[in-house]
Amino acid sequence: MISQHNVLSWATFFPLLGLGLIVFFAAVRALAGLSKTALDQASRIIATITSGGSLVCALLAWHWYDPSAAGYMVGGHATGVQLVQHFTWIKTFNVEYLVGVDGLSISMVLLSGLISFVATIASMPWWGGSKYLAMAGMTDHGDGHHPKHFSVRMVPGYMAMLLLLQTGMMGTFVSLDMFLFYVFWEVMLLPMYFLIGIWGGPRKEYAAIKFFLYTLVGSVLMLLAVIAIYYSSHSAQMADGTFSNAHTFNLLALAQQGREGVFTLAAPILGFAFTKIIFVALFIGFAIKIPMFPFHTWLPDAHVEAPTPVSVILAGILLKMGPYGILRFNYPLLPDATAWAAHAMAAFGVINIIYGAFVCLAQTDLKKLIAYSSVSHMGFTLLGMAAMTPTGISGAVFNMFSHGIISSMLFLIAGVIYDRAHHREIARFGGLASVMPEYSALTGLAFFASLGLPGMCGFISEFMVLTGSFPTFMLLTAISATGVIITAAYYLWAIHRAFLGKLNPLYQGYPDLVWRERLVLYPLGAIAIVLGCYPYAILNVINPTLFGLIASIRPL
């Protein structure tokens, strides 16, 4: 049933299948009378199974992907894209269903499957100590002071939105048709809005609409760029072997045309070069997702208000959409404009690194600190991408993967303490290590992974980015290296304040990790260490694609 020809579609639509089942059970409840508990449990089980199914498909795809294969051919050129599924969707408009993965997207597919499943597990009220469940408000009757935990509030709706989000994310990473990509890209917005807006914290409405508006502004600019690219493109071969009517949405064919300079010949827009305008429009759309300074202000709000699993998805996967989109659209389609913009990208990357790190120093809320650390760390990806050296760009993509793992872990950690204490003020904790040793050890692991301790994946990515970009941007790289020191400062200071020192008597008797939390934290920690010792597990897969990508961009 699942074969190399459809594994990506399965990975994408498995969660949607789960959504359908949940709707079906909700209809059964409305018509035939199913108890609320039964529906809640059913939707939890469905979400776990379908999200797990999506992960299995992602692993299969990872297994089947061969970095050395020539892959899908476009116009006689090998693209390295594999596991392709291809058929015509809207014939009259040349829109196709084209999914496939190259080294860049297969790493993101794996990350997406993994983090989605982790987030699903983290949404379950299962496997916890009874004492802890009451503290977290997961038992149905809360104590009145605290709102009910997100994992027991409107469960079918939550699970449905989570699954829809997973479909949108997976679809974005596998689609190679511009139109299809855009549809999946937008499909992610709605569930995210509701997940933050319904199950979020005190200022959830504000955070949700801010997230939605920022991202939509970016994506409407992207929409215009997509249309403009389409109408500047030439015809390409479609799934049925015929040639499309004058233009194409096929990203692989567009990349080929971009390398051939088709878009540099397009008519200028309001007197500006076509490629530059389109580059900027696409870049803003993607930069909002990264989030790049000055478009980053939605991120702290969204993270602070979102429930833990949603923060995990937001930091672990959604932020990766930004650089992924730049590498999928801007780099291959507009190589000239990319070379033109490289300095600006690097400069913004450095601003992200330094500014994010300094803002972290000023944070009192643990989750906000982690959110701003994401801003800082994603700056490394921007810097590495801009450098156009092999080490720089593979460091940038490796950073996307490793930040996905580490930041997910960090947000889970913030969620653990929030569930118990119902606040995240670093200064109000103290000496937690003496009551929650296991938790403190894992927090230390995650913090050190994030600040770039050798032996863990954060170190590899930062090291690669810095060494890779040094030849191109010496001064900027030197400045951003100081960001590493500030990062160490805010993490160590946070550990010092929250975990070390005298125990605040308020937190006496707090339960340590329960199985639900162990189940997600240990695997992520293990991956962080394994990748820190053997980064080639990822690098071997992504490098051929990335090297080919920067080879097409004229060196500076």
Partner 1 sequence: MIQENLVSTSWFLPELGLTAGIMLMFLLDLAWKRHPRRVLFLTVGTLLFLGLAGVLLAMQPSAPRALFNGMIASDPFATFFKWLFLAAAALTVLIAAGSTEFGRHQIGVFYPLLLSIVLGMFLMASAVDLLMMYLAVELVSLISYALAGYRQGDRKAAEAALKYVIYGGVASGIMLFGMSYIYGLTGTTSLLGLGKALDGLAAGAMGSSQTALRVALVVAVIFVLCGVGFKIASVPWHMWCPDVYEGAPTPFTAFLSVGPKAAGFALAVRFFWSALAGSPLGNGPGALTEGLSDLPWPAIIGVLAAVTMTLGNLTAIVQNNLKRLLAYSSIAHAGYALMGLCAASAVGVQSVMIYLLVYLVMNLGAFLVVIVVAQATGSELIDAYKGLGRRHPLSAVSFAIFLFSLTGLPPFAGFTGKWYLFVAVLQNYSLPGGGWYAALAVIGALNSAVSLYYYMRIARAMFLEAPVGAVTVRPHLGYQIMLGVFSVALLLFGVWWSPLIDWTQQSLVFLRG
What sign does the CA torsion over 284, 285, 290, 291 have?
positive
Q: Output 265 or 427, the one with its CB closest to partner 1.
A: 265
Kindly state the smallest distance separating residue 227's Cβ from partner 1, in Å: 5
Close Cβ partners of 63 (under 8 Å, ≥ 6 residues apart): none
CA atoms within 13 A on the CB side of 307: 26
> Which residue reads 């997973």 in tokens?
166
Q: CA–CA separation, 239 vs 261, rounded Å?
A: 24
Q: Output 91 or 234, the one with its CB closest to partner 1.
A: 91
Kindly state the smallest distance separating residue 89's Cβ from partner 1, in Å: 8
Q: Output 181 or 293, the one with its CB closest to partner 1.
A: 181
Q: Output 91 or 518, the one with its CB closest to partner 1.
A: 91
Q: Is the peptide bond before 294 cis (omega within 30 degrees of 0)?
A: yes
Q: What are phi and psi of 71, to 5 degrees?
A: 75, -160
Kindly state the smallest distance separating residue 178's Cβ from partner 1, in Å: 12
Kindly state the smallest distance separating residue 352's Cβ from partner 1, in Å: 24
Return residues touching partner 1 (CB under 8 A). 90-93, 182-183, 186-187, 189-190, 193-194, 197-198, 204-205, 208-209, 212-213, 216-217, 220-221, 223-224, 227-228, 231, 266-267, 269-271
What sign does the CA torsion over 468, 472, 474, 480 have?
negative
- Tokens linked to 293: 């300074």
Kindly state the smallest distance separating residue 285's Cβ from partner 1, in Å: 11
Kindly state the smallest distance separating residue 463's Cβ from partner 1, in Å: 40
Output the 3-class SS for 286-312: HHHHCCCCCCCCHHHHHHHHCCHHHHH
Kindly state the smallest distance separating residue 176's Cβ from partner 1, in Å: 17
Q: Output 17 or 190, the one with its CB closest to partner 1.
A: 190
Give the CA distances from residue 429 to residues 133, 177, 423, in Å, rounded to whole numbers and listed in that order: 20, 50, 10
Kindly state the smallest distance separating residue 340's Cβ from partner 1, in Å: 20
Q: CA–CA separation, 318 vs 196, rounded Å?
A: 14
Kindly state the smallest distance separating residue 242's Cβ from partner 1, in Å: 16
Angle (CA) 306-310-314 rounded to 5° is 100
Q: Output 223 or 421, the one with its CB closest to partner 1.
A: 223
Three-state DSSP at 8 gives helix
Q: Output 154 or 530, the one with its CB closest to partner 1.
A: 154
Query: What distance, in Å, lies between the first and last C-alpha atoms of the chain?
Result: 48
Q: Output 209 or 347, the one with its CB closest to partner 1.
A: 209
- Tokens linked to 111: 């990350």
Task: Give yes or no for a contact between 327 and 549, defined as CB atoms under 8 angstroms apart.
Answer: yes
Q: CA–CA separation, 257 vs 277, rounded Å?
A: 18
Q: Output 49 or 284, the one with its CB closest to partner 1.
A: 284
Q: Output 55 or 98, the one with its CB closest to partner 1.
A: 98
What secondary structure does DSSP assign to 63-118, as a single string?
Answer: HH--TT----EETTEE---EEEEEEEEEGGGTEEEEEEE-HHHHHHHHHHHHHHHH
Q: What are phi and psi of 82, to 5 degrees?
A: -130, 175
For residue 265, how far is the Cα from the chain centroid? Answer: 34
Q: CA–CA separation, 307 vs 455, rounded Å?
A: 31
Kindly state the smallest distance separating residue 206's Cβ from partner 1, in Å: 10
Q: Output 202 or 454, the one with its CB closest to partner 1.
A: 202
Q: CA–CA separation, 232 vs 226, rounded Å?
A: 10
Kindly state the smallest distance separating residue 378's Cβ from partner 1, in Å: 23
